[in-house]
Chain A
Amino acid sequence: MSKKKNSIWMFFASVKLALFVLFILATASIIGTIVPQDAPPQEYHQFYGSVLEGVGLYSAKAVSIVTKISTILSIDDMYRSWWFNSLLGLLSLNLIICSIERLPDVWRLVVMDNHQTKIGRLSSMRHKLILTSTDSIDQTTSKLQQLLASMGWATSKSEKEGGSLLFSQKTPWTRLGVYAVHLSILVIFAGAAVGFFYGHKGGLNLPETLSSKVIYQYGSGEELDLGFTIKCNWFHMTRYPNGAPKEYQSELVIIEDGKEILTEVIEVNHPLTYKGWTFYQSSFESHKKYIITVTNRDNDIPERFLVPLRQAVRWQNEELLFAVKDLVPTDTPMVYNFRLLVSDGKGGQHNLILEANTPKTLTRADGTEYVFQVKEFFSTGLQVAKDPGVILVYIGCGLMLAGLGVAFFMSHRRLWVYIHEQDGTTTILVAGTANKNKPGFERNFADISAKLINSQSFEVQK
C-alpha cells in the first residue's frame, strides 16, 4: 500500500459500508420472514394476490408480474440466493479490510515500549499525582518499586532525562478483543461455507428391522452413500397421560463389513454420530400393521409375523393361527392395547389382551408354552446430516463470547512513575491511563494514590 491509500480500499475499510450492508441485510431478512420461503409456486400467487389486494392493486397480470420478479430476485428462497450470500461475503470483505487497516496501529499499542513516552505527555494525563520525597532519587525509586509491586503493579525501570521512569501495565492484549469478535464472525461464516460445500443434509424413513446403506438428500432426493449400513431395530413412542407425545426413540445399529459396530438408542435431542454422519430422531410413520413375535418356550427362538389388522396368519410348524382382532383403548388417549385371537391347533381358542411390547404367555393343552408380543409396525423418520463446518461455527461462537467479554469488560491500563529532581527536591510524578472503563480506572488510580500517600514515605506536593 502506498502512503496515500487508494479510495476503493478505503471504501471497503469503512464502517459506513458495514452499517449500510447490515442495514440492507436486516431489511432483506425482514422481507424473508414475511414472504413464505421455499414454498410451492401456487402459494406465491396466493400470497402476492392477497398482498396486492391489500394495497388495492389487484389484477391477475400484476400478480403474475410480481411473482415473476420475486422469482427472479429469489425472494422466495432468499437466504440461499446469490445476492444475499454475496452481501454476507461483502460484509466479510469489509471486516477483513477494516481489520487490516486498523490492526497494525492497535498492535503497535499492544507491543510498544512505554518507556519512550514523553514526560510532557505524562504531566498532561487526566489521572496524575505529584509527590515529593526527602530521599535520593535512587532510594525513592526502589521504595516505589516495592510499594507498587505489593499492589500488583510490578514495574520496569529506565533512566530518562536525569531521572528514572517506572512503568507498569495490565492486559495490553485486551485491545485485541474487538478483533477477536470480528474474527469470530469470519470463522462462523467460514464454518457455514464449509457446511455448504462439504456438508450433506438428508433424510431416511427406515422401517423397523430393516437397514439402509443410503440416505436421501433434501431437495433433490438424490441418494447419498453412507459408506456403512444403518439398521433400525425398533421404534417406540411414549405418551403423556393426556396423550401428547412424550418421547420418540429408535434403536439404531451401525453395521460395517457385516459386523455390528455400534448399537444405540436415539431420541429427539439425543442423536447418534458415526463417521461424521449424525442421525437425528425427527418423525415416525405408522404402517397400520402389527408385528407379532411368538416364541416357543421349548427352544426360545422367536418368530416374527407382520400382519394388518383382522388378518389371520398361520405359523405352520407350530400349527398356530392368530390375528390382531382389534385395538382396545386405554386410559391414555391414543394408546391402545391389542386383542389377539389365537387358535392353538389343538382345539383351543384364546383371547389375549396385550399391552404394546409386553409379553404374555399362553399355555396350550399339550403343555407347550408360547410367549406372544405385539407392537405396531413403524418406520422411524431420521434426519441425517454431515456438517464438517459445525466445529468451526462453534469455535467462532466461543471466540465471539470470549472476545465480547474482553472487549467490554477488560481494559489496557498503564501506569508511569517519573522520579526526578526539581528545585532540589526529589519529585515523583505518577500518571496513568486506561483505554476503556474510565470510571473503573479512576477508582484504581485513587486507590494507588491513597496507598502511596498513606505509606508516609512521601509528601503530597502543594
Chain B
Amino acid sequence: MNSALLLNYSTFGYLFASFIYVAAFLFKSNKAALGGTFFTAITVIGQTAALGLRWYESYQIGIGHAPLTNMYESLVVFSWTIAGFYLYLEFKFKNRTIGAFALPFAFAAMVFAESGWLNISQEINPLIPALQSNWLIAHVMTCFVGYAAFAVACGIGVMYIIKDSSANKDEGLMGTFPPLRVLDEINHKTMVFGFIWLTAGIITGAIWANSAWGTYWSWDPKETWSLITWFFYAAILHARFTRGWQGTVVAWLAIGGFFNVLFTYYGVNFLLSGLHSYGS
C-alpha cells in the first residue's frame, strides 16, 4: 500500500459518497443518506492515512516534509478539509441533504489533483529553504479550513437558491431541504467560520513571511487576493449585521465569494506571478 494508491481510492470514495448523497436526496431516503455519511467518514479516515503515509514516504526519500507543498498536495488537502468540515456540519445541524451539495466539491478537488488535466505533478518534491518552516503547516491548514468552509457555503447557497426559486418550497423534493430560514442560518454560520479561519490564515502567512524575510506584508498577488477575498466576506457580514441582508442575496454572495476563493487559490498561480510559486 502506498499513498498514491490510497489517494486514488479516496477519489472514488468521494465519488461514491457524493453519488449516495445525491441519490438519497432524489429518492428522499434518509436511510440511504446515512450510507453517504458512512462512506464520507471512511474516505476521510483513509485520506488522513494517505496524507500521513505520504508524509512518511517523503522522509524515506530523504526530503521529509508535511504534504502541503505543491498544487497536488494542496488539492488533496482541500478535498480532505471540505469532507471533514462537511461531516462536522452534518453532525452539528443534523441534516444530510447538504451532503449532495458539499461532497461533490471534495470529489472535484480530487479529480483535479489526480486526472492530469491541469498538468499537476504528483511527485513529492524537495522543499526549497523558504518553505521549511513550522508556519507552513499552520498557514496552509488555516487557509484550507477557511476555503473548505467557503466551498460548503457555496453549496448551501446553491441549495438556498434552488429551494427559493421552486414553486413548492415545502413539498416533494424541496421538502427534504432544511427550511429556508435554517439554510440561511447555516450559510451565515459557515461563512463566519470560514472568515475566522481565513483571518487566521492571512495572519499566520504574515508571521511566516516576517520570519522568512522580514516583511510581513509585501502586496504580492496572492496576498493581495486573499485580502480581497477577506474584504469580500467582511462586506457580506457587515451587510448582514448592519443592513439586515439575508436570504437570496447572501446565497448569491456566498457563491460569488467562492469564485473569489478559487481565483485566490488557483487563478493567481496561473494568471499572475509572485512569491507563492505553488504549482507553477
* Interface residues of A, Cβ cutoff 8 Å to B: 15, 18-19, 22-23, 25-26, 29-30, 32-34, 37, 79, 192, 201, 240-242, 244-248, 267-271, 278, 280-282, 383-385, 387, 390, 393-394, 397, 400-401, 404-405, 408, 439
CB atoms of B228 and A280 under 8 A apart? no
- A37 with B203: in contact, given A30-B228, A201-B214, A268-B130 (CB under 8 Å)? no
CB atoms of B196 and A240 under 8 A apart? no
CB atoms of B228 and A269 under 8 A apart? no
CB atoms of A242 and B132 under 8 A apart? no
- A390 with B210: in contact, given A15-B238, A29-B224 (CB under 8 Å)? yes
CB atoms of A248 and B195 under 8 A apart? no
CA distance A18 to B196 in the complex (A): 20
- A22 with B235: in contact, given A33-B272, A280-B213, A280-B214 (CB under 8 Å)? yes
Known: A29-B219, A30-B225, A244-B125. 7 other contacts (CB 8 A): A15-B243, A19-B238, A19-B239, A34-B272, A245-B129, A271-B211, A401-B200
Is B63 in the interface zone, CB < 8 Å from A?
Answer: yes
Is B242 in the interface zone, CB < 8 Å from A?
Answer: yes
| Proximity bits, B22-54, A CB within 8 Å = 1, else 0 | 000000000000000000000000000000000
Within 8 A of A (CB), among B203-241: 203, 206-207, 210-217, 219, 221, 224-225, 227-228, 231-232, 234-235, 238-239
- A240 with B63: in contact, given A267-B129, A268-B129 (CB under 8 Å)? yes
Contacts of A201 on B, CB cut-off 8 Å?
214-215
Q: Of the candidates B129, B185, B199, B221, which one forms a contact with A247 in the assembled complex, judged by CB atoms under 8 Å apart? A: B129
Contacts of B125 on A, CB cut-off 8 Å?
244
CA distance A271 to B129 in the complex (A): 13
Is B5 in the interface zone, CB < 8 Å from A?
Answer: no
CB atoms of A240 and B224 under 8 A apart? no
Q: Report the minimum CB–CB distance from B223 to chain A (whole Å).
A: 9
CB atoms of B224 and A401 under 8 A apart? no
Within 8 A of A (CB), among B155-210: 185, 192, 195-196, 199-200, 203, 206-207, 210
Q: Report the minimum CB–CB distance from A405 to chain B (whole Å).
A: 7
Q: Which residue of B lies closest to A243 (CB)?
A: B126
Q: Of the candidates B133, B185, B206, B219, which one forms a contact with A79 in the assembled complex, judged by CB atoms under 8 Å apart? A: B219
Q: Which residue of A lies closest to B232 (CB)?
A: A26
Q: Of the candidates A19, A245, A394, which one forms a contact with B235 in the assembled complex, judged by CB atoms under 8 Å apart? A: A19
CA distance A372 to B203 in the complex (A): 49
Is B128 in the interface zone, CB < 8 Å from A?
Answer: yes
Contacts of A15 on B, CB cut-off 8 Å?
238, 242-243
Q: Report the minimum CB–CB distance from A213 to chain B (whole Å).
A: 20
CB atoms of A268 and B132 under 8 A apart? yes
CB atoms of A393 and B199 under 8 A apart? no
CA distance A244 to B130 in the complex (A): 13
- A400 with B213: in contact, given A19-B235, A22-B234, A268-B132 (CB under 8 Å)? no
Q: Which residue of B lies closest to A382 (CB)?
A: B214
Contacts of B239 on A, CB cut-off 8 Å?
19
- A248 with B238: in contact, given A33-B221, A401-B196 (CB under 8 Å)? no
CB atoms of A404 and B129 under 8 A apart? no
Contacts of A32 on B, CB cut-off 8 Å?
219, 224
- A241 with B234: in contact, given A385-B215, A404-B196 (CB under 8 Å)? no
Q: Report the minimum CB–CB distance from B207 to chain A (whole Å).
A: 7
- A269 with B129: in contact, given A22-B234, A385-B215 (CB under 8 Å)? yes
Q: Report the minimum CB–CB distance from B183 to chain A (whole Å).
A: 14
Contacts of B221 on A, CB cut-off 8 Å?
33
Contacts of A394 on B, CB cut-off 8 Å?
207
Number of interface residues of B (CB under 8 A): 44
CB atoms of B213 and A383 under 8 A apart? yes
- A29 with B227: in contact, given A79-B219, A404-B195, A404-B199 (CB under 8 Å)? yes
Contacts of B185 on A, CB cut-off 8 Å?
439
Q: Which residue of B lies closest to A386 (CB)?
A: B214
Q: Which residue of B lies closest to A23 (CB)?
A: B235
Q: Of the candidates A30, A248, A282, which one forms a contact with B213 in the assembled complex, judged by CB atoms under 8 Å apart? A: A282
> Which of B129, B135, B239 has the most chain A CB atoms inside 10 A of its CB?
B129
Q: For the complex, would chain B's binding face be called helix, strand, loop or mixed by DSSP majority?
A: helix
CA distance A405 to B203 in the complex (A): 15
Is B110 in the interface zone, CB < 8 Å from A?
Answer: no
CB atoms of B196 and A26 under 8 A apart? no
CB atoms of B214 and A278 under 8 A apart? yes
CA distance A401 to B225 in the complex (A): 20
Contacts of B132 on A, CB cut-off 8 Å?
247, 267-269
CA distance A390 to B209 in the complex (A): 12
CA distance A271 to B213 in the complex (A): 8
Contacts of A387 on B, CB cut-off 8 Å?
214
- A245 with B128: in contact, given A37-B219, A240-B62, A240-B63 (CB under 8 Å)? yes
Contacts of A25 on B, CB cut-off 8 Å?
231
Contacts of B206 on A, CB cut-off 8 Å?
393, 397
CB atoms of A408 and B238 under 8 A apart? no
CA distance A281 to B133 in the complex (A): 14
CB atoms of A29 and B126 under 8 A apart? no
Q: Which residue of A lies closest to B234 (CB)?
A: A22
Contacts of A23 on B, CB cut-off 8 Å?
235
CA distance A280 to B268 in the complex (A): 27
CB-defined A-B contacts under 8 Å, sample of 13: A26-B228, A30-B224, A32-B224, A33-B272, A37-B219, A192-B217, A244-B126, A268-B129, A269-B130, A269-B212, A390-B216, A397-B203, A401-B199
CB atoms of A240 and B126 under 8 A apart? yes
Contacts of A241 on B, CB cut-off 8 Å?
61-62
Contacts of B210 on A, CB cut-off 8 Å?
390
- A29 with B228: in contact, given A244-B128, A246-B126, A269-B212 (CB under 8 Å)? yes
Contacts of B199 on A, CB cut-off 8 Å?
400-401, 404
CB atoms of B214 and A383 under 8 A apart? yes
CB atoms of B129 and A246 under 8 A apart? yes
CA distance A268 to B206 in the complex (A): 16
Contacts of A247 on B, CB cut-off 8 Å?
129, 132
CA distance A405 to B62 in the complex (A): 41
CA distance A460 to B126 in the complex (A): 70
Q: Which residue of A lies closest to B225 (CB)?
A: A33
Within 8 A of A (CB), among B254-275: 268, 272
Q: Report the minimum CB–CB distance from B23 to chain A (whole Å).
A: 31
Q: Which residue of B lies closest to A247 (CB)?
A: B129
Contacts of B207 on A, CB cut-off 8 Å?
394, 397
Contacts of B238 on A, CB cut-off 8 Å?
15, 18-19
CA distance A29 to B226 in the complex (A): 11
CB atoms of A400 and B203 under 8 A apart? yes
Within 8 A of A (CB), among B95-138: 125-126, 128-130, 132-133, 135
